[in-house]
Amino acid sequence: MSNANEPSLHCLPVHQSRVDPASAADESQETALKTKEWEIGMLQDEVAATQGIRIRRRPPSGPPLHYVGPFEFRLQNEGNTPRNILEEIIWHKDTEVAQMKEKQPLAKLKKYLDSAPPTRDFIGALKSAYERTGVPGLIAEVKKASPSRGVIREDFDPVEIALAYEKGGAACLSVLTDEKYFQGSFKNLEAIRSAGVKCPLLCKEFIVDAWQIYYARVKGADAILLIAAVLPDLDLRYMTKICKMLGLAALVEVHDEREMDRVLGIEGIELVGINNRNLETFEVDIANTKNLLEGERGRIIREKGILVVGESGLFTPSDIAYVQDAGVKAVLVGESIVKQSDPAKGISGLFGKDISV
């Protein structure tokens, strides 16, 4: 569980070991802290597992030397290989964020918040696009590459693509900021924001720590992504509250029934994305959107007034019509439009009509 208001135990300075009694006390305190930190990590993964979450936050490590806790805990050092690509990304993100936090602690980030320009209404933009066009509001994704597809667009100019999307009638944009797996960056997000693009911007990042939400806000995001396959309920609750406080929209992404049911049980969630791509296996099936909106779940979603976004694997006007019939009022599309030489034309091709203003 991440708490932005408390310093991470990762960041505690490592003391040099000397032999005087004072430093021996320091050392035993440090061992105690390390043990505590390790135990908390184990417990977090256990809580997450009870919610059906298979992604572990960081590689399992053996207990610190001289550990005397429960025997089962001592047995759980099961090797340091991620079980799938999502888990690999999350483990990498965990170390990356720890380093970024060290360079720019939360207290420093918070100073920039005072001078940050106001956020733009992400959900409002989707709703008015839907009303204006009669088709789902488009979140167009600025995406150079992905682990499943490799490089999607070679001559990648993020600002040019963003401007073309806006011209083509996108309601909002999604900008990938992960560098290692998606060849994105926060520089792209900042560049798009300062190029005068008016569409609200989603920071497409793998969030594992509340610090990242503040960082996204400072870098010009209007919305962030929270992945239910990665974040336990407590994190989803806590992080959506931080978003409200910062004026950001939270797009909470689910892929299966269990994740959808968890999310529907949490108060205050207004925007839910159904990912048609399984992030563990890369399989894509747009019927997933339909399945998750059927019956009782669809009823609860309508009752709560949640706006649903159909995500991934949408290529043709009939794909759009299919997810619209299933009940989505917005779609998130990357590959099919980013790879067109003119992304604005890609948008009219995707919807089968011109949706520009």
Ligand X SMILES: O=P(O)(O)OC[C@@H](O)[C@@H](O)c1c[nH]c2ccccc12
What is the contact surface with ligand X in residues (CB under 6 A)?
141, 143, 204, 253, 275, 311-314, 332-336
Nearer to ligand X, 101 or 143 (CB): 143
Rounded to the nearest whole angstrom, what is the least distance from the CB of residue 149 to ligand X in the complex? 7
| Dihedral, 203, 204, 205, 208 alpha carbons, nearest 10 | 80
Local structure of residue 7 (DSSP, 8 states): -
Rounded to the nearest whole angstrom, what is the least distance from the CB of residue 273 to ligand X in the complex? 7
Do the Cβ atoms of 285 and 249 come closer than 8 Å? no
Cβ neighbors of 324 (< 8 A, separation 6 or more) are 135, 136
Nearer to ligand X, 222 or 253 (CB): 253
Residue facing ligand X at closest CB distance:
334
Rounded to the nearest whole angstrom, what is the least distance from the CB of residue 173 to ligand X in the complex? 12
Nearer to ligand X, 56 or 153 (CB): 153
At 311 the three-state DSSP class reads strand
Nearer to ligand X, 63 or 346 (CB): 346
Residue with the two structure tokens 């089962």: 72
Nearer to ligand X, 143 or 329 (CB): 143
C-alpha to C-alpha distance for 117 and 152, rounded to whole angstroms: 32
Nearer to ligand X, 63 or 307 (CB): 307
Do the Cβ atoms of 254 and 273 come closer than 8 Å? yes
End-to-end CA distance of the chain: 44
Rounded to the nearest whole angstrom, what is the least distance from the CB of residue 178 to ligand X in the complex? 7
Rounded to the nearest whole angstrom, what is the least distance from the CB of residue 64 to ligand X in the complex? 34
Residue 70 vs residues 20, 30, 32, 33: alpha-carbon distances, Å: 32, 20, 15, 17
Rounded to the nearest whole angstrom, what is the least distance from the CB of residue 251 to ligand X in the complex? 9
Rounded to the nearest whole angstrom, what is the least distance from the CB of residue 138 to ligand X in the complex? 11
Nearer to ligand X, 38 or 182 (CB): 182
At 198 the three-state DSSP class reads coil
Rounded to the nearest whole angstrom, what is the least distance from the CB of residue 256 to ligand X in the complex? 14
Query: In the chain, at which residue ranges do the beta strands (DSSP E only) sit?
Result: 137-142, 145-146, 150-151, 172-176, 201-204, 223-227, 249-254, 271-275, 307-311, 330-333
Please name the amino acid found at residue 158. P
Please name the amino acid found at residue 253. E
At 293 the three-state DSSP class reads helix
At 175 the three-state DSSP class reads strand
* Bridge partners, residue 331, by sequence: 138, 310
Nearer to ligand X, 125 or 333 (CB): 333
